[in-house]
Structure 1
């Protein structure tokens, strides 16, 4: 199942810089593992925002929920999920 996921990051302004960097490093490692596994095949930065659009390819709503809730940045994310279906006019 394909999902379009928008993630907006809202780190607290008073979070110590070293704590923020540690969380971001764990986030990067986790997201790159999911990308290598094929569960997170596309990841795009939204220009001018601390946000991204991502495509996830997972087996179920429950799997997506688990992957998202395990993101180290999850407590600081505003997430919007849109399920996707193949378009009949797509050549892919």
Structure 2
């Protein structure tokens, strides 16, 4: 599964040809969750509260890039990396 971004130890991935609704897969220190792109909310799995808040903010900030990647993933095209939340 391609990695879209890594920040603060949080790994963001997206599957090619994954099921709707558009979402990302998030991993953090043994926690795993499916996060909906449109809302930034955890739909499956679990993340620590602070990590979920960071991911939500990041997801909403990068929604256009995530949706572009979702479209590419549905067409089996290469995905683009997205800047993490830890840049200065």
Query: Could you tell me the TM-score, scaled by structure 1's length?
Result: 0.25
Larger helix fraction of residues: 1
Larger RCO (CA under 8 A, 6+ residues apart): 1
Query: Could you tell me the TM-score, scaled by structure 2's length?
Result: 0.26
